[in-house]
């Protein structure tokens, strides 16, 4: 996932997050996109139009030159910076309160700090405000301080939230937006020299200018070539492996892994896996925009993309899906998200487009059914959102919780899938190549994407984009009635509510067990449409959107229970069905904390199994089996083998309340679930043996057939 860095408020829609805050690794020679000569004229013209997307002209940006030294063992950071501010531009910098601002001068003269009102306590920032001047100004600063210790207790949701700059010998993470240096609110250019102590390597976004490694430590110089809106710095005791990837036009891309010793055996597999999507998208979209791509291990439970890199938690690097779907997703973000950056004011479209073109494309390559199940999963995730937690796409910026994920990934990906259905695959791909040529190295908003697709479609798509981007909810596409028209040649389909957008709805016309595909032309604001069945005969029944290709509410029978139902429920309770020692009780509490989004889920009793509330039930195999004898609805699915160390499955109560059963062999198996269980919310059941998932899936999913009225 491509996520906004800590410190830039995410759930509230506050300032946008930086493309620069996604790493381009130490040895990458490229934060600067390698946009070929064929792109030069388009990019030049695009810069003149940049005001429409809110990006600043690169000729009128402040520039900062920094020299930083980091000692992870003592967590001490020392830095010096010089900001060069264009004429007529004010400069406001912020620095975390944990640092001592030793000196501030402007054009060589000592500068008094602003007497502006203090920031709210939660902000904890020092402010340095320098007003505009009719000439270029140079602002020099020196600071030092102790970073926070690396917090190993943070779970995967905690990493998404705002984090302070942290350091430890096993890994340091100084995210953009955390004010670990005197940072500006807007875009900038920078040059950074960073030095770290012996046994460490430091990485930052930017073109590598120089580097050295010796017995005393390592140093490197990075320089940004494109506007950056923040700067992330990381360090660790990395072992580096490398492979050079040849691309057409005598281009090469440096592939690297930066892995700590415990995961170093995975290095060659990751190098090989990274090459595949780079070659594919370089061919299908446009030239790969960086000089390299690196995979960096993180001591935190992370998994997100950076310019020319991805930062992945050590604990999940070995999971099979990381080298396939997840890695492909992060590679594609170098085009959508880092190469063309979202205009954060109008929402983050990059996650949905990347989900469709990477994750969904991989499923489609497996089989049409695998892709169908992924689209169903987007709709099912949305169905699990509690009332009031939905939000428009134009307000989505990052995956801060499951509800945001269902919107920013699922709803967004489905919109692009619907657009692909409207245009056809060839025109859809052409539109994206157009977008890349015109916006590589720049920002784009939803309006820019809509315009690119409209040019290839030759018509307005506002009746689809407008409601999908600015609206909430999803329509029910189960009709009130389906009946033949008096002419005997057409069918009239009437829905319960006016349709929110204009699009083509796939249908299957059934006559006996014979099915013919077709599409209904639906119009925004209308409740009914007529349709001539294929083949000239009147079918017995219609099946609406059987491939789950449209954003809609699932019909009864299309929603088997999923683990995510209880995981996302705000009022979920936790029932520990087995007694045990302190280690058992602690492990059960930790599993609930990792699986559930509810901040403080209440404890439950066995009697709550009869209550209409969501439940997570944790116990040993024999105790879960005993509860299932009491209530057969809790029984383990037949598709789960008996000989498993741990199993998770979802069921519903008689009243429809979600339940998740976590059945384990012993305390060790329960502890092993801590890092695995959160990744399987989209499944209905999963079984583990020897620390690996050996089976997973969902129940049967079939759209209902609606008979024609006589």
Could you report the per-residue pLDDT of 198-248, keeping only the tens digit for each? 999 998 877 778 889 999 999 999 888 667 778 989 899 999 899 999 999
CATH number at residue 386: 1.10.390.10
Q: Give the residue from 406, 437, 470 where a domain finishes.
A: 470
Q: Which residues does 371 contact at the CB level (< 8 Å), separation at least 6?
A: 360, 363, 364
Tell me what percent of the residues of the chain surpass a pLDDT of 70. Answer: 88
- Residues 159-172 have a mean pLDDT of 84
Are 529 and 670 part of one and the same domain? no
Q: Give the residue from 511, 528, 558 where a domain finishes.
A: 558
CATH number at residue 633: 3.30.379
> Is residue 408 in some structural domain?
yes
From 227-236, 484-493, 658-667, the region with the lowest mean pLDDT: 227-236
Q: How confident is the model at residue 521 (pLDDT cuts 50, 70, 90)?
A: very high
Are 552 and 581 part of one and the same domain? no
> Is residue 509 in some structural domain?
yes
Quote the tokens at residue 602.
Answer: 């209440």
Q: How far apart are CA 612 and CA 635, in angstroms?
A: 18
- Find the length of the chain: 710
Counted domains in the chain: 4
Are 569 and 645 part of one and the same domain? yes
- Say yes or no to pLDDT of 386 above 70: yes
Are 279 and 316 part of one and the same domain? yes
pLDDT tens digits, 592-643: 999 998 888 899 999 999 999 999 999 999 999 999 999 999 999 988 988 8
Are 554 and 567 part of one and the same domain? no
- Say yes or no to pLDDT of 303 above 80: no
Rg of the chain taking only CA atoms, in angstroms = 27
pLDDT tens digits, 600-610: 889 999 999 99
- Say yes or no to pLDDT of 16 above 60: no
Q: How far apart are CA 649 and CA 635, in angstroms?
A: 9
Task: Indicate the angle between helix axes 368-383 and 412-423, nearest 10 degrees.
Answer: 130
* pLDDT mean across residues, the chain: 86
Are 274 and 380 part of one and the same domain? no
Q: How far apart are CA 443 and CA 22, in angstroms?
A: 15
**Sign, CA torsion 370/374/380/386:** positive
- Say yes or no to pLDDT of 23 above 50: no
Are 389 and 452 part of one and the same domain? yes
Look at residue 480 in the predicted model and tell me its pLDDT.
92
Output phi, psi for 372, to 5 deg: -60, -45
pLDDT tens digits, 429-482: 999 999 999 999 889 999 999 999 999 999 999 999 999 999 999 999 999 999
344 DSSP 8-state letter? G
Question: In angstroms, what CA-CA distances link 490 with 22, 402, 518, 536, 537?
Answer: 54, 43, 13, 9, 9
- Residues 104-117 have a mean pLDDT of 77
Q: Give the residue from 530, 558, 586 where a domain finishes.
A: 558
- Say yes or no to pLDDT of 25 above 60: no
686 alpha carbon, distance to own chain's centre: 23
Query: pLDDT higher for 121 or 638?
Result: 638
From 3-7, 111-115, 295-299, 338-342, the region with the lowest mean pLDDT: 3-7
> How would you write 113-172 as a 3-class SS string?
CCCCCCCCCCCCEEEEEECCCCCCEEEEEEEEEECEECCCCCCHHHHHCCCCCEECCCCE
Query: pLDDT higher for 119 or 282?
Result: 282
> Is residue 1 in some structural domain?
no
Tell me the residue range of the domain where 604 lies.
563-697
Look at residue 160 in the predicted model and tell me its pLDDT.
52
Q: How far apart are CA 409 and CA 387, in angstroms?
A: 19
Are 254 and 226 part of one and the same domain? yes
391 DSSP 8-state letter? -
Query: Are the CB atoms for 672 and 656 separated by under 8 Å?
Result: no
Minimal CA–CA distance to 9: which of 164, 177, 228? Answer: 177
Are 384 and 305 part of one and the same domain? no
DSSP 551-611: --BPPTTS----HHHHHT-TT-EEEE-S---HHHHHHHHHHHHHH--SSSPEE--GGGGGS
- Say yes or no to pLDDT of 122 above 70: no
CATH number at residue 177: 3.30.2010.30
pLDDT tens digits, 331-346: 999 999 988 999 989 9
Judged by DSSP in three states, 488 sits in: coil
97 C-beta neighbours (distance < 10 Å), count: 15
Query: Are the CB atoms for 544 and 507 separated by under 8 Å?
Result: yes
Q: How far apart are CA 169 and CA 199, in angstroms?
A: 9
- Residues 489-507 have a mean pLDDT of 94
> Is residue 609 in some structural domain?
yes
Query: Are the CB atoms for 566 and 614 separated by under 8 Å?
Result: yes
Are 502 and 425 part of one and the same domain? no
Are 622 and 580 part of one and the same domain? yes
Q: How far apart are CA 176 and CA 620, in angstroms?
A: 44
- Say yes or no to pLDDT of 70 above 60: yes
> Is residue 153 in some structural domain?
yes
Look at residue 187 in the predicted model and tell me its pLDDT.
82
118 C-beta neighbours (distance < 10 Å), count: 10
> Is residue 235 in some structural domain?
yes
Q: How far apart are CA 32 and CA 206, in angstroms?
A: 7
> Is residue 128 in some structural domain?
no
- Say yes or no to pLDDT of 695 above 80: yes
> Is residue 512 in some structural domain?
yes
- What's the number of CA atoms in the CB half-sphere (13 Å) around residue 133? 13
Look at residue 65 in the predicted model and tell me its pLDDT.
97
Quote the tokens at residue 388.
Answer: 């009031």
Torsion (CA) 554, 555, 558, 560 in degrees, nearest 10:
90
- Say yes or no to pLDDT of 42 above 50: no
Are 192 and 256 part of one and the same domain? yes
Tell me what percent of the residues of the chain surpass a pLDDT of 90. Answer: 66
Look at residue 234 in the predicted model and tell me its pLDDT.
87
Whether the full predicted model's pTM is greater than 0.75, yes or no, is: yes
Look at residue 225 in the predicted model and tell me its pLDDT.
66
- Say yes or no to pLDDT of 98 above 70: yes
């Amino acid at each position: 996932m491509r996520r906004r860095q800590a410190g830039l408020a995410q759930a509230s829609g506050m300032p946008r997050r930086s493309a620069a805050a996604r790493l381009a690794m130490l040895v990458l020679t490229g934060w600067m996109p390698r946009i070929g000569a064929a792109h030069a004229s388009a990019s030049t013209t695009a810069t003149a139009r940049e005001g429409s997307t809110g990006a600043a002209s690169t000729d009128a940006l402040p520039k900062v030159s920094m020299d930083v030294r980091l000692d992870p063992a003592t967590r001490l950071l020392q830095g010096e910076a010089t900001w060069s501010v264009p004429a007529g531009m004010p400069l406001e910098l912020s620095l975390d309160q944990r640092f001592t601002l030793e000196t501030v001068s402007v054009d060589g003269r000592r500068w008094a700090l602003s007497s502006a009102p203090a920031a709210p306590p939660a902000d904890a920032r020092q402010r340095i405000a320098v007003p505009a001047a009719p000439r270029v100004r140079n602002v020099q600063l020196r600071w030092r301080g102790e970073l926070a210790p690396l917090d190993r207790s943070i779970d995967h949701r905690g990493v998404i939230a705002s984090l302070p700059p942290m350091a430890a010998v096993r890994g340091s993470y100084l995210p953009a937006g955390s004010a670990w240096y005197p940072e500006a609110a807007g875009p900038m250019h920078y040059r950074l020299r960073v030095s770290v102590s012996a046994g460490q390597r430091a990485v930052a976004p930017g073109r590598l200018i120089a580097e050295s490694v010796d017995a005393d430590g390592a140093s490197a110089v990075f320089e940004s070539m494109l506007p950056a809106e923040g700067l992330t710095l990381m360090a660790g005791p990395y072992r580096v492996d490398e492979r050079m990837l040849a691309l057409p036009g005598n281009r090469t891309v440096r592939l690297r892994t930066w892995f700590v010793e415990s995961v170093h055996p995975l290095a060659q597999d990751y190098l090989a896996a990274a090459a595949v999507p780079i070659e594919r998208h370089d061919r299908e979209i446009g030239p790969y925009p960086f000089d390299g791509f690196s995979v960096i291990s993180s001591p935190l439970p992370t998994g997100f993309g950076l310019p020319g890199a991805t930062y992945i938690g050590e604990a999940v690097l070995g999971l099979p899906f990381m080298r396939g779907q997840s890695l492909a997703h992060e590679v594609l973000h170098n085009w959508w998200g880092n190469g063309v950056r979202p205009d954060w004011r109008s929402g983050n479209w990059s996650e949905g487009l990347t989900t469709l073109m990477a994750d969904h494309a991989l499923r489609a390559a497996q089989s049409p059914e695998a892709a169908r199940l992924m689209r169903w999963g987007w709709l099912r995730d949305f169905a699990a959102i509690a009332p009031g937690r939905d939000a428009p796409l134009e307000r989505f910026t990052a995956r801060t919780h499951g509800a945001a994920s269902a919107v920013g990934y699922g709803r967004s990906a489905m919109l692009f899938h619907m657009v692909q259905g409207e245009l056809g695959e060839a025109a859809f791909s052409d539109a994206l190549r157009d977008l890349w040529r015109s916006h590589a190295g720049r920002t784009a908003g939803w309006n820019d994407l809509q315009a690119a697709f409209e040019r290839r479609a030759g018509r307005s798509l506002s009746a689809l984009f407008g409601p999908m981007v600015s609206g909430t909810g999803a329509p029910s596409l189960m009709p009130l009635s389906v009946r033949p028209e008096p002419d005997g040649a057409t069918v009239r389909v009437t829905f319960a509510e006016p349709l929110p957008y204009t699009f083509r709805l796939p249908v299957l016309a059934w006559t006996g067990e014979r099915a013919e595909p077709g599409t209904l032309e639906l119009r925004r604001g209308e409740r009914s449409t007529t349709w001539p069945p294929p083949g000239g005969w009147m079918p017995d029944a219609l099946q609406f959107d059987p491939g789950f290709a449209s954003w809609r509410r699932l019909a009864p029978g299309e929603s088997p229970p999923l683990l995510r139902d209880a995981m996302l429920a705000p009022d979920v309770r936790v029932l520990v069905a087995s007694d045990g020692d302190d280690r058992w009780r602690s492990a059960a509490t930790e599993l609930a904390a990792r699986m559930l989004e509810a901040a403080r889920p209440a404890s439950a009793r066995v009697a709550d199994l009869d209550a209409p509330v969501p439940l997570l039930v944790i116990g040993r195999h024999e105790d879960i089996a005993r509860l299932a004898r009491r209530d057969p609805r809790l029984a383990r699915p037949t598709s789960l083998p008996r000989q498993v160390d741990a199993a998770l499955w979802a069921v519903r109560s008689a009243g429809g309340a979600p339940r998740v059963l976590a059945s384990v062999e012993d305390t060790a198996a329960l502890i092993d679930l801590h890092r695995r269980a959160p990744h399987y919310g989209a499944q209905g059941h999963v079984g583990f043996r020897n620390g690996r998932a050996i089976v997973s899936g969902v129940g049967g999913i079939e759209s209902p057939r609606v008979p024609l009225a006589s």
